[in-house]
Amino acid sequence: MIALPFLAASFSQIYEFFHRGGFFMIPLLACSLIAVTVAIINGLGLRRHLVVPEELEKEIERLAPNDTPDAIVRLSRYVRNDPSTLGRIAQVGLSNLHQPKDENQNAVQTVARHEVGQLENGLHVLEIIIGIAPLLGLLGAVSGLVQVFGAFGASATQTDPHTIAKGISEALSTTIVGLGIAIPTLIAHGLLQKKIEKLASDMELLISGLLTKCYNQKGRRGSFEFPSEVKA
């Protein structure tokens, strides 16, 4: 019960701080909410089991160059039922095994770029917030300073330096909030970008190994044709 008055006083001080910032606190708070929402959604969407499932990773690594075509058919059936990013890329590679390796690799790279672009959805929003939050804070500060000095300039009797200092500190509150939003947003953007790069690198390694194993098998068998189920 003792903590309740303390919490009430804290919330009151926070409200007063944002209230003193004026109109520009509204878009800054909106930027903060958007940044948190986008970071959480992207973070949940980049969980490894949704992008590079461990089971599919093991299935691809288990495939050996000397396996029978049935092993490739089984893997093809597996990836068709896998909704992950790696599964969709692997499906393109396996369905184009009847084509020359270079053409298949180009098809896989095209799909992979699209899939990685899907993973990066939302990061551009964080980049915009990183740029505009400090600018909104600075704009709010300049607007507040204009009002402060305009009010004191209108009355020659108001020359108290303490009052001027208080007005300036209130005007600069938006700058503090703008930087307070931009810095953690920048950190979140960097962490998410690094995670995407790691996942993309892992998928590239797995798909490259998969295609190498499949085409090595095809090369040793000469005129061997993969089953139509794999081509479909």
The two three-digit tokens of residue 100, written as one number: 């020359």
Per-residue confidence (pLDDT) for residue 154, from 0 to 100:
57
| pLDDT single digits (tens) 84-138 | 999 999 999 988 888 888 899 999 999 999 999 999 988 999 999 999 999 998 8
With bands split at pLDDT 50, 70 and 90, how would you rate the model's confidence at 2? very low
With bands split at pLDDT 50, 70 and 90, how would you rate the model's confidence at 52? very high
**Percentage of the chain modeled with pLDDT above 90:** 41
User: Exposure of 120 by Cβ count < 10 A (0-12 exposed, 13-18 middle, 19+ buried)?
Assistant: middle
Per-residue confidence (pLDDT) for residue 85, from 0 to 100:
93
| pLDDT single digits (tens) 138-186 | 888 888 777 767 666 655 555 556 566 666 766 788 888 999 999 999 9
**Mean pLDDT, the chain, integer:** 81
Per-residue confidence (pLDDT) for residue 1, from 0 to 100:
43
| pLDDT single digits (tens) 208-225 | 998 888 887 766 554 445
φ/ψ region of 5 (left if φ > 0, alpha if ψ in -120 to 50, else beta) reads alpha
Per-residue confidence (pLDDT) for residue 165, from 0 to 100:
65
The two three-digit tokens of residue 224, written as one number: 């061997």
Which string of b and e fits 48-79 if b means at least 16 CB within 10 Å?
eeebbbeebbebbeebeeeeebebbbebbebb
What is the distance between the terminal CA atoms of the chain, rounded to a whole angstrom?
A: 69
- CA-to-CA dists, residue 122 to 52, 114, 193, angstroms: 20, 15, 11
Instruction: Give the type of residue at 146.
Output: V
What's the predicted TM-score (pTM) here?
0.80
How many angstroms separate the CA atoms of 145 and 171, rounded? 6
